[in-house]
Structure 1
Amino acid sequence: MLTPPDRHAEREVNLDWYLPDGDLPRPAVILVHGGPMPPGMSPTPRDWPVYRGYGSLLASLGPVAVTAEHRLQMVVGPDGPFADYPTAAQDVAGAVERVRVDPRVDPERIALWFFSGGGLLSTDWLRERPEWLRAVALTYPLLAPLPEWGIDPRFAPAAAIGEAGRPVPPLLLTRVGLERRLLSEPVAVFLKAAGGNGVPVDVLDVPNGQHGFDMLDHTDESRQAVEKAAAWITERLRGQR
């Protein structure tokens, strides 16, 4: 959908790095894709045009952009199928640690951007709120466990923002008008919990967008929404905490 100048991605195990022009180190945005994915899926998310586009766009705006692949798969266990969120959460935490120690990155200026089913993986970060986490973005996110997926109830973003601790980092939620109720209702619960706990959330509405609009809807509305979200997260990395 977006056509920023394509940048070569440096591949390192489960990370793809998109580096900006100019001097380093820079702040970094870590892109966390959705799921669960079927085992053996090919191509994997970091090779999808949408994430290559996000990486190239963000790097053109100044930050280092990193797509982090994780093992969020649907696994068949003795009690039926379950989505392996604990493993995926470990993968994301490991990716964040590796990004922060890289000399090309300012370790005190990190943003996390979660998409779709990856939205539940924001829970630990919304709960822990490290000082270096300058922003969290959520795009058409899943924000409540689905019972049929057997998801560990620990993954509950709305509960996490209500816990005491450091201030919650700036939040951006991209909400689509044509979302399925299964996902739109938890988004409403999340926003209500944020409001009830005095946590501000910037909401970017895409009235005619569907789930996955940035892949499926080749419209001006979609392009503008992606550009606005990328500009928002880049600005939060520049600002003071």
Structure 2
Amino acid sequence: MGNSFWETQFILDPPPAPTERHGDVDLHLPAGDGPHPGVVVVHGVPGPPQAPDARDWPLYRGYGALLADRGAVVAIPRLAVASPDDLTTVATRIADAAALLRADPRVDSDRLAVWFFSGAGLLLGDWLRDPPRWLRGLAATYPLLAPLPDWPPIDRRFHPLDALIPPTPTPPQPTPPDRRAPPARRARPARRARPARRARPARRARPARRARPARRARPARRARARPVWFPPSALRRRSC
């Protein structure tokens, strides 16, 4: 066992697997033609400046051989983080390693998983918020899920715990009374057509009334003689 942690030997002893180096990505290959599922192994960041390439550490070579022995094609990209500002570049390299696996004819492009270690746990957020359709699993071993207290502020994109907590729903704001839209009226059901009224039977014609006989003319009344009244003084004059 070495004196530095990157010299620590892998705890298991899987059979060695063929390895291909494609630029900054190493592929550990299983036996057979495939297509095989794929796994992107994301080593911890940031690493010590004096540490060698993490792809050559016994730890990650052991994980690559173990997964290849189980029938998966393993991609281990080389990642370098000197400051939190480098996390955006590292996130792009992880996505490129997944694209490299999916383009390989030995890999089933719809069966991929991503495995994060240590400080690379900060990169989980993108995969939790918007997982691609071909992603079949996410794994994390002793992951860092929040920035360390002495770190400078970093983008909320690299706070994976935010992706695990559902957002608080915003309560609806009341609409002012003068702007409130009137409630939609329910459509009235169509009225049933009324049955046609029965025609009333025609009334019977009344029989013609008999003509009344003419009344007899009343006889003329006799004129009554009206007495003439003379004052007493006139009677006296005539008698003289």
Q: One fold, TM greater than 0.5?
A: yes
The code of the aligned residue for 2:45 comes to: G
More RCO (CA 8 Å, sep 6+): 1
C-alpha displacement at 1:38, in angstroms? 4.0
- The percentage of aligned residue pairs carrying the same residue is 51
Separation in 1, partners of 2:104, 2:26? 13
1:95 corresponds to: 97
Give the greater-gyration-radius structure (CA): 2
- Partners of 2:44 and 2:137 lie apart in 1 by 18
**1:18 maps to 2:28:** yes
Deviation for aligned residue 1:163: 5.1
TM, length-normalised to structure 1: 0.61
- Name the counterpart of 1:37: 47
Give the length in aligned residue pairs.
Answer: 156
The CA deviation string for residues 93-136 of structure 1, in whole angstroms up to 9 with x for no partner, is: 11111211111111100000000000111110111111211000
Helix, strand or coil at the partner of 2:16:
coil
2:219 match: none
Q: Match of 2:14?
A: 4
- Give the CA deviation at 1:48: 0.2
In 1, Cα distance between equivalents of 2:41 and 2:112: 11
Distance in structure 2 (CA, Å) of the matches to 1:132 and 1:139: 22
Superposed, 1:31-70 pairs within 5 Å as 31-39=41-49, 41-70=50-79
- Which secondary structure does the structure 2 equivalent of 1:24 belong to? coil
| Other-structure match for 1:144 | 146
Q: Which amino acid aligns with 2:111?
A: R
Cα deviation, 1:59-90, whole Å, max 9, x if unaligned, reads 0011111112222x223xxxxxx452111111
Residue 160, structure 1, aligned to residue 163, structure 2: yes
CA contact (8 A) 1:127 1:163 kept: no
In 1: Cα distance, 2:20 partner to 2:33 partner: 17
Contact 2:75 2:97 in 1 (8 A): no
Aligned to 2:135: 133
**What SS does the aligned partner of 1:65 have?**
strand
Please state whether the residue corresponding to 1:106 is helix, strand or coil.
strand
C-alpha contact 2:122 2:158 (8 A) present in aligned 1: yes
- Kindly report which structure 2 residues correspond to 1:65-214, keeping only aligned pairs within 5 A, or say none: 65-71=74-80, 73-75=81-83, 82=84, 84-150=86-152, 151-162=154-165
Note the alpha carbon deviations across 1:148-169, whole angstroms, 9 max, x for none.
Answer: 22232321112113458xxxxx
- Richer in helix (by share): 1
- Over 3 Å counting, the alpha-carbon distance change for 1:140 and 1:25 in structure 2 is same
**In the aligned structure 2, how far is the partner of 1:95 from the partner of 1:13?**
11
Q: Is the 8 A contact 2:12 2:62 kept in 1?
A: yes
**1:42 Cα deviation (Å)?**
4.3
- The gaps in structure 2 that reach 5 residues or longer are 1-10, 168-240
Show structure 1 runs of 4+ deviating over 4 A.
none
| Matched letter for residue 63 of structure 2 | Y
- Aligned 8 A contact 1:145 1:152 in 2: no
* Alpha-carbon distance between aligned partners in 1 of 2:93 and 2:151, rounded to the nearest angstrom: 19
Q: Which amino acid in structure 2 is aligned with residue 144 of structure 1?
A: A
Cα root mean square deviation, aligned? 1.7
Would the aligned equivalents of 2:112 and 2:134 in 1 still touch at CA under 8 Å?
A: yes
Q: What TM-score comes out, normalization by structure 2 length? A: 0.61
Q: How many angstroms apart in 1 are the aligned matches of 2:151 and 2:103? A: 34
